[in-house]
A and B are shown apart, each in its own frame.
Chain A
Amino acid sequence: QEQLQESGPGLVKPSETLSLTCTVSGGSINSYYWSWIRQPPGKGLEYIGYIYYRGRTNYNPSLNSRVTISVDTSNKQFSLKLTSVTAADTAVYYCARTRWFGEFLRYFDLWGRGTLVTVSS
């Protein structure tokens, strides 16, 4: 059964870097796009960015200067780094497989369970 699992620290200090990894199990990381999405407590979904297994990326402009997404196909993992975090970055962070069919049909068909990251000193 295909699964995604986020891992990383649940507490990050302000101004430091948030680092998370998503591990793909039960399926291939190749031939897919992979995304990070977050959800602040009590709020809606905010898209962070995606990476193709070959390395192409695109990021939400609101986070662009602070975000880096990378992929390690040999270990079936992709990662998120978010620099200079503040309390506004406190959220549940989800990784998700992104299905890609042409210009308009793109969606998230497999999600990790999510991990809460709190930014606090």
Chain B
Amino acid sequence: SYVLTQPPSVSVAPGQTARITCGGNNVASKSVQWYQQKPGQAPVLVVYDDRDRPSGIPERFSGSNSGNTATLSISRVDAGDEADYYCQVWDSSSDLPVFGGGTKMTVL
């Protein structure tokens, strides 16, 4: 089955740009989504189809996908962005979604 690999944690200083990676075999051939989950809350979709943002998601959130790595970038990070972030693709062979293991982002 298809596997997505994320770093367990990333740390970033306020005002800087955070980059969270999501690795998978030829992941560029798939559409990647990103979800933000704050403590005690449900996940929220922040990027879909590699780089599109749902209505209401700030432009500070952006995505890219190339080769074996998809990346979520968050510019001008502030304390309110501290959360777990999950990537997700749909595995056509099983007709089921695959989630990465999640990355805990800490704002220093």
Binding site for B on A (CB under 8 A): 44-47, 49, 58, 60-61, 94, 99, 103-109, 111-114
CB-contacts of B17-52 with A (<8 A): 29-31, 33, 35, 41-45, 48-49
A58 touches B92 (CB 8 A): no
- 27 A–B contact pairs at CB < 8 A? A44-B86, A44-B99, A45-B35, A45-B43, A45-B86, A46-B99, A47-B96, A47-B98, A49-B96, A58-B95, A60-B96, A104-B29, A104-B30, A104-B89, A104-B90, A105-B48, A106-B97, A107-B31, A107-B97, A108-B35, A108-B45, A108-B97, A109-B45, A109-B48, A111-B42, A111-B44, A113-B42
| Least distance between A113 CB and chain B CB atoms (Å) | 6
Q: Please count the residue pairs between chain A and chain B whose beta carbons lie under 8 angstroms apart in the complex.
A: 62
- CB-CB under 8 A from B63, the residues of chain A are none
B80 contacts the other chain (CB 8 A): no
| Least distance between B65 CB and chain A CB atoms (Å) | 11
The complex places the Cα of A44 from the Cα of B86 at a distance, in Å, of: 8
The complex places the Cα of A46 from the Cα of B94 at a distance, in Å, of: 15
B14 contacts the other chain (CB 8 A): no
CB-contacts of B75-108 with A (<8 A): 86, 88-90, 92, 94-102
Interface size class of B (residues with CB under 8 A): 20 to 34
Binding site for A on B (CB under 8 A): 29-31, 33, 35, 41-45, 48-49, 54, 86, 88-90, 92, 94-102
Contact with A107, one of B33, B94, B95, B101 (Cβ below 8 angstroms)? B33
